[in-house]
């Protein structure tokens, strides 16, 4: 499974840009990449960010008991 598109700048650059202006940075990424995009953070690693409340609602309203083929890289546990 591939990640959504996002900026190619190194994590430290993306982190500094976000820290300098979080709202403007988020809005700029949303305009360029759409409602779902990937970003890098020097402390947290690779993040998939979602800018549409309806998509977030769909993610969290899914059946938590449903099996998933995705694995959490941090813990190796199955995620929904």
Cβ(80)–Cβ(66) below 8 Å:
yes
Predicted model pTM: 0.70
Name the residue among 21, 22, 13, 20 with its Cα closest to residue 41.
13
Report the C-alpha gap between 11 and 8 in whole angstroms: 9
User: Under DSSP, is residue 2 helix (H, G, I), strand (E, B) or coil?
Assistant: coil
pLDDT tens for 49-72 read 998 999 999 888 877 777 665 554
Q: Which residues contact 40 (CB under 8 A, 6 or more apart)?
A: 6, 7, 9, 10, 11, 14, 15, 46, 47
Boundaries of every domain in the chain: 11-55
pLDDT tens for 9-45 read 999 999 999 999 999 998 999 999 999 999 999 999 9
């Amino acid at each position: 499974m591939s990640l959504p598109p996002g900026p190619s700048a190194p994590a430290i650059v993306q982190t500094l840009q976000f820290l300098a202006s979080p709202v403007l940075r988020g809005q700029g990424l949303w305009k360029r990449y759409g409602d779902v995009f990937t970003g890098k953070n020097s402390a947290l690693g690779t993040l998939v960010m979602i800018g549409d409340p309806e998509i977030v609602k769909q993610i969290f309203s899914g059946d938590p008991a449903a099996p998933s083929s995705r694995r959490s890289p941090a813990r190796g546990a199955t995620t929904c």
